Chain A
């Protein structure tokens, strides 16, 4: 298989299988749907496994491919150093999540597996896109697939609403991509360069002005997808979707692609200056603000969602300060850790019927494999040595320190908060398990639990837990040294120094211990403003309400406009009448009025009759198509027609005179 073909198949294979499965799962007859549901996961897992192989092949061969699309703006795909790391990582998470879902998802299996594959295809295209049209195409399909996945349980209005919130919010950010594409066109990139036009790699060389437009657009789009401030709220709502969806979309893929895009266009951000600074600060502040939000949550999935925003804040920060190597490492490590934790949350939700921390006390002790994986995931999320996020975050922080001590300080606070909210999870799930009556009272708060975690669902947890430990190498000098040159970075300044590692390790452990003590003493503050996601939900609701009010006002104004147009029409007809001779006018006016009144009365009083007559008249008229134009069905029509012709005829004569006398 040629590299080019492998790359195309990586995108098209899952897309075709996914669409076919989703269509079969929704539109086939009952028997067909049953067959599709049975075949769905074996087929999907096989497809995902093949995609992982293709991703590895494409990464190893640095494949590239192209398809014509718009004039001077083709769809370009290619694997470079950055995507060579990220694309296989995402493909691996897709595979693991699908294996888990095989055991976890009970209804609509074909639709679920199909949508997941379609989503995976969109992510592969997003990550390999080398031109703006390819990126925009993949980016929005990714959003639509996420809408369908978050609203997967469509009988529940709130869940579909959550999908709508996710799609509309991220699309608000996506408008930035449209602006960026237009900016690249304005900057003369149509048909330029070896890719055939609008290449992502050429953006940094745009002339100032258009370059700023493009950078701003991409920044907004990326912040929206990555659930950074002020867009974070949609991620909270998205937790109403199935857990495996969160395990893919809100760890390795959708949100991660926001951070990924900024890493990819880091030279452009740096070229403008302001865009890089803005990214760095938004990332750092999101790490802190959403860290506080995470710490205040009492629902495990909400906590994990807020922590996703916060952890991606470090990726965005990395793109802002030019720490592409560290950012990439952080992206991949976070993908593994967060996929693991969302799957654990999902396994417990299915088995115990709850995702409330209160109900999950001691959950780790019930299924030791799940519990052990959860503990490793939480420790990794805390940034505790020797787990993955400890080193990767520091690879970012080391560069941030050089850029600005203030940024570093804010980032360090974010790191401490990570340890704190991870510690909150850890202390709860590792606590003394509930028994008997007490357990029955707190379990099943969301749904009836199955009290079982199948082997098939446990297997991916083990793999991901090992990754949460092993990926620590990504932030350490040997791996950084190997990775940095492929990302166009200097290996010497890309990794975390020993001092940073010690400092952050100590900070993480200290914060962890502090939170454990506070939770034990039941004195951990959970302020309402933080639990409510800083009021972002209320703000979103306010925007929605204002928009709907504006829409209703516009609709009323439009109705008034329609009435005005009708009144104007009557006025015009009246004026036309006035131009006739007085007798004629009187005569016609009286007759017209009488005719109209009669016609209206006839319609109102003998409605059926009137309709019938009109209908028969029309039918008769239709048979004489040749005479249609001249044939008037009612006195009304005839009247108006003649009068309009008079007015327009007069205007035409006037214009002819004007033009010929000019």
Chain B
């Protein structure tokens, strides 16, 4: 069942890729159909999911693959991965619906994004480091083509350059990750993630453990991205198509943060504890720096891109604080990790929506320059309402998922490490920058390009609204999500505390 969920989009991708004669409309709707089936299937998984025993996985499936290397095709789900599987299905479905109005080679695009969806689902379900790495790298390749092939840089060739930069940077990061994985393998003789978490190698290995963790962390930090490894993100987003940005920010960035809780924390617990301070510092700097730089942006997409650095920073702060074991209660650290996972889901929904909404502006006016708009609330009231809701959700207003995530991150982190309260400045800066953007885009006198912005079409509304509705549902009724995440977060905290 789980493998079906993972590989169904790949099958669709192959079919779409070889079906040369397929009309564009059929390709678009086929993509929508596949993603909706995926949403349904993930829904079934969620309904049938029962919290596994600590360290075990639900829907566990293992097939021998490279026995000589101790690598197998091993997949399974727990409270960390199931929410991200669901997020992946939802974000891709939103993208497919949004792309109904796209006209650039829709069949190839559908095939590419179906392929990307398999890499994302496969990565979150992976229970073997080789499988994890394979999907990690394939996602980079897929996103490279999405940006290079469907991007729209300001200057000719700039999409290709951004794509190449994205590829090189994140590929380099993935090689560092591979280095870390090899280190884990050499020390334990297996790539199996369940085994590695149950019996972590390199405990008490001092320097070696630190080096392996450093390699893993660099790889994940590039993908997340954290300061100072974030500079590939803004150009990649600016030049990526709307659906590419939504997937990149909504799903791909989570691969980095997911790696923290799935690999780095359980498999290298003592190295994690001794480098917790570095992580906290990097997280706090990412939070403040991302928000500050976002505040100065004049390009809407770059602004949202930098808020991603800020939002992922909260996750890093939380997982770092969870490694400071002495002197804080386990419940507080579990709260922080729960908040971190919630933030991954929340950021995926909200930022996915924001990037699609930015894409609507580009569709109409061909620009993201904030100063060329204004007064959109009069010209496009539904667009304005969607954007305002997304902005308030992103700045962490209660009633939306971002609040549920951030309040847990802060409560848990500050209780464990009081000076992480510095990161609170982040939510003040994001409030300021989103309200400034609202003011300059939506209110006041109409701007130069305002007249060209027709209100959202049906397909755009249907793509964006569900993301925001989900963000609201999680914000108001967080229990269904948190009940899945909490046991897994407690397990992670217990594993780090060993």
Residues of A within 8 A of B (CB): 23, 26-27, 68-73, 133, 136-138, 140-141, 144, 147, 151, 154-157, 160-161, 163-164, 167-168, 171-172, 175, 178-179, 181-183, 185-186, 188, 190-191, 213, 547-548, 550-552, 554-555, 558, 561-562, 565-566, 569, 603-604, 607-608, 610-611, 614-615, 618-619, 621-625, 628-629, 633-634, 636-637, 640-641, 644-645, 648, 651-652, 655-656, 658-660, 662
Contacts and interface: CB of A to CB of B under 8 A. Distances in A.
Given A136-B398, A182-B414, A552-B296, 20 more contacts: A70-B404, A72-B335, A138-B398, A154-B442, A155-B378, A157-B439, A164-B439, A167-B435, A171-B427, A188-B329, A554-B289, A554-B296, A555-B292, A565-B232, A615-B149, A622-B145, A628-B145, A636-B164, A637-B164, A652-B178
Given A182-B414, A640-B168, A168 B428 contact: yes
Given A614-B160, A622-B149, A155 B375 contact: yes
B428 A172 contact: yes
17 contacts: A26-B385, A69-B478, A71-B482, A154-B444, A160-B439, A160-B443, A160-B444, A182-B410, A554-B292, A555-B292, A555-B296, A604-B157, A610-B156, A611-B156, A611-B160, A625-B115, A656-B182
Contacts of B425: 175
Interface string B80-114: 00000000000000000000000001001001100
B421 A655 contact: no
Contacts of A68: 479
Contacts of A565: 169, 228, 231-232
Nearest to A636: B164
B67 to A, nearest CB: 20
Contacts of B378: 155
Contacts of B335: 70-72, 185, 190
List the 6 closest pairs (A to B, CB-CB), nearest first.
A607-B156, A182-B414, A186-B415, A618-B149, A562-B231, A555-B296
Nearest to B202: A659
Contacts of A624: 17
Interface string B229-244: 0011011000000000
B334 interface: yes
A190 B332 contact: yes
Contact of B183 (A133, A151, A637, A655): A655
A175 B428 contact: yes
A190 B418 contact: no
Interface of B: 13-14, 17-18, 105, 108, 111-112, 115, 137-138, 141-142, 145, 148-149, 156-157, 160, 164-165, 167-169, 171-172, 175-176, 178-179, 182-183, 186-187, 205, 208, 211-212, 215, 228, 231-232, 234-235, 289, 292-293, 295-297, 328-329, 331-332, 334-335, 338, 375, 377-378, 381-382, 384-385, 392, 397-399, 403-404, 407-408, 410-416, 418, 421, 424-425, 427-429, 431-432, 435-436, 438-439, 442-445, 478-479, 482, 486
Contact of A182 (B112, B331, B411): B411
B385 A629 contact: no
A628 B289 contact: no
B105 to A, nearest CB: 6
B442 A623 contact: no
Most B Cβ at <10 Å: residue of A72, A151, A160: A160
Given A547-B295, A607-B156, A619 B108 contact: yes
Contacts of A137: 398-399, 403
Contacts of A167: 431, 435
B178 A648 contact: yes
A485 B187 CA distance: 69
A127 to B, nearest CB: 16
A590 B120 CA distance: 39
A70 B415 contact: no
Given A133-B407, A551-B296, A659-B186, A629 B428 contact: no
Question: Chain A CB within 10 Å — which of B13, B142, B165, B444 has the most?
Answer: B444
Nearest to A175: B424
A147 to B, nearest CB: 7
Given A548-B295, A628-B142, A155 B444 contact: yes
A136 B443 contact: no
A614 B148 contact: yes
Contacts of A615: 149
B70 to A, nearest CB: 15
Given A137-B398, A558-B231, A662 B427 contact: no
B8 to A, nearest CB: 15
Contacts of B332: 185-186, 190
Contacts of B429: 547
A164 B442 CA distance: 13
A157 B444 contact: yes
A71 B431 CA distance: 27
Nearest to A610: B157
A603 B163 CA distance: 15
Contacts, number: 251
A144 B397 contact: yes
Nearest to A554: B292
A338 B167 CA distance: 62
Contacts of B478: 69-70
A23 to B, nearest CB: 7
Given A27-B382, A144-B397, A656-B186, A154 B435 contact: no
B160 to A, nearest CB: 5
A58 to B, nearest CB: 21
A562 B169 CA distance: 11
A556 to B, nearest CB: 8
A136 to B, nearest CB: 7
Contacts of B418: 186, 213
B171 A157 contact: no
B486 A555 contact: no
A179 B296 contact: no
Contacts of A181: 407, 410-411
Given A133-B407, A625-B14, A628-B138, A548 B296 contact: yes
A164 B182 CA distance: 51
A569 B169 contact: yes
A631 to B, nearest CB: 9
B293 A558 contact: yes
A658 B381 contact: no
Contacts of B411: 70, 73, 178, 181-182, 185
A140 B397 CA distance: 7
Contacts of B160: 603, 610-611, 614
Nearest to B485: A71
A625 B13 contact: yes
A192 B221 CA distance: 37
Contacts of A658: 208, 211
Contacts of B296: 548, 551-552, 554-555
Contacts of B443: 151, 154-155, 157, 160
A186 B432 contact: no
Contacts of A619: 105, 108, 149
B398 A141 contact: yes
Contacts of B18: 623
A611 B157 contact: yes
B208 to A, nearest CB: 6
Contacts of B292: 550-551, 554-555
Contacts of A618: 145, 148-149
A592 B360 CA distance: 40
Given A70-B335, A155-B444, A652-B182, A164 B436 contact: yes
Contacts of B408: 70
Contacts of A179: 414, 421, 424
A26 B381 contact: yes
Contact of B432 (A151, A154, A547): A547
Contacts of B165: 566
A72 B164 CA distance: 47
